[in-house]
Amino acid sequence: MHTRTDLTGGQGVTTGSFSGEVTDHDGGPLPGAVVTAVNEPTGTHYNAVTRANGRYSIFNVRVGGPYKLTATMTGFKTQTVDNIFVKLGEDEHVNFQLELETIEETL
C-alpha cells in the first residue's frame, strides 16, 4: 500500500509551477527579463521577472496545457517555447537563452 504525506494541512496540491533561467548568448544571467506563461485553452496569463541571478519562478499555474512560455527583454530577441504541459504538483523547468537584437542602420 502506498501512503502519501500531505504537508499542506489537508488542502492537497492542485497546481503546478514553472521555473528556469534566462541568459544571454554567452550564458550570463539576464536580471529583469519578463517571462510570461499563457495557458492556451483558457488564455490565462502568468508573469514573472527574473531575479539578479537570471532565475524566475511562476507558482500556482493550472495543471494541463498546452502552455506557451515567452521571455522578453529590451535589446534582445523574444524567445518562445510552445506545447508545454504542467503536471499536478510538478515544477516544469524551462530555460531561455536570448540573442541580441540586430540593429540596422541606414546611411
Contact 84, 69 (CB under 8 A): yes
- As for how many domains the chain has, the answer is 1
Structural domain contains residue 73 = yes
Cell of 79: 524567445
- Closest by CA position to 41, among listed 68, 80, 79, 70: 68
As a whole-number percent, the residues of the chain with pLDDT over 90 amount to 82
Q: Per-residue pLDDT for 10 more than 60?
A: no
Range of the domain at 57: 15-88
**Size (the chain), residues:** 107
Cell of 21: 533561467
Distance, in Å, from the CA atom of 70 to the CA atom of 48, rounded to the nearest integer, reads 11
Structural domain contains residue 23 = yes
Structural domain contains residue 97 = no
pLDDT tens, position by position, 78-101: 999 999 999 999 999 999 999 999
Residue of 42 and 5 predicted with greater confidence:
42
Question: Which residue type is seen at 97?
Answer: Q
Model pTM? 0.83
CATH code assigned at 53: 2.60.40.4130
Distance, in Å, from the CA atom of 95 to the CA atom of 39, rounded to the nearest integer, reads 18
